[in-house]
Amino acid sequence: MPSNRTLTIIKPDAFGAGKAGKIIAHLEQGGFRLVAARVMQLSGAQAGEFYAIHKGRPFYSELVEFMTSGECMPMILEKDGAVAALREAIGATDPAEADAGTVRKLYAESKGRNAIHASDSDENAERESRFFFAESEAIRG
C-alpha cells in the first residue's frame, strides 16, 4: 500500500520571493494536510547530502549552490497516495513543460530555480522526512 506522507521543500527562489503562503494554500486546496514544517537555510554539507543521489550530474554543484542561497521550507505533507499525488500537483521539473495549474507552472522560473521539491518514492519520502524532522516533530496519526 502506498504511504500517505511525503516530503516537500519550498526552495529558496519561491521562499525568497514571498510565494510560500500561496504555495501552501494551493497544496491545502489540493487536499494535502501539513503535518510538519520548518524554515531554515541549508549548509553546503546538508544540501550536498540531501541531493547526494545527483552527485556527478552536470547540474549538481549549481543545485547545491542554489539550495544554499537562501531560506527554504521543508514540510511533510499527508494525503492518500501522497508521493504520486504531490508529484502530479507540482508538475514537471522544467516549468516550461509543467501542466497548467501545477505549482511549478504557476510559481517556478526555470528547471534549476523550480520553486519546489517533492520526494520521488515512498522510500525516499521516508529518508527525506527523517533528514529534516524527528518522528516527534510531525503530527501523529
Our answer to whether residue 117 is catalytic in this structure is yes
Residue entry with cell 526555470: 110
Query: Residue 87: how many CA atoms within 13 Å on its side-chain side?
Result: 9
| φ, ψ of residue 12 in degrees (nearest 5) | -55, -30
Among 11, 19, 104, 117, the one annotated catalytic: 117
Cα gap 4→78, rounded to integer Å: 5
Cα–Cα dist 56/111, whole Å:
18
Cell 524532522: give the residue: 133
**Closest CB to ligand CMP among residues 43, 93:** 93
CB of 118 to ligand CMP, least distance (A): 6
Q: What is the closest distance, in whole angstroms, from the C-beta atom of residue 13 to ligand CMP in the complex?
A: 10
Residue nearer to ligand CMP on the CB measure, 63 or 83 = 63
Nearest approach, Cβ of residue 117 and ligand CMP (Å): 3
Question: Is 70:113 a contact under the CB 8 Å cutoff?
Answer: no
Other Cβ atoms less than 10 A from the Cβ of 37: the count is 18
Minimum distance between the CB of residue 136 and ligand CMP, rounded to whole angstroms?
Answer: 26
Per CB under 6 A, residues contacting ligand CMP are 54, 59, 63, 93, 111-112, 114, 117
Residues carrying an active site annotation: 117
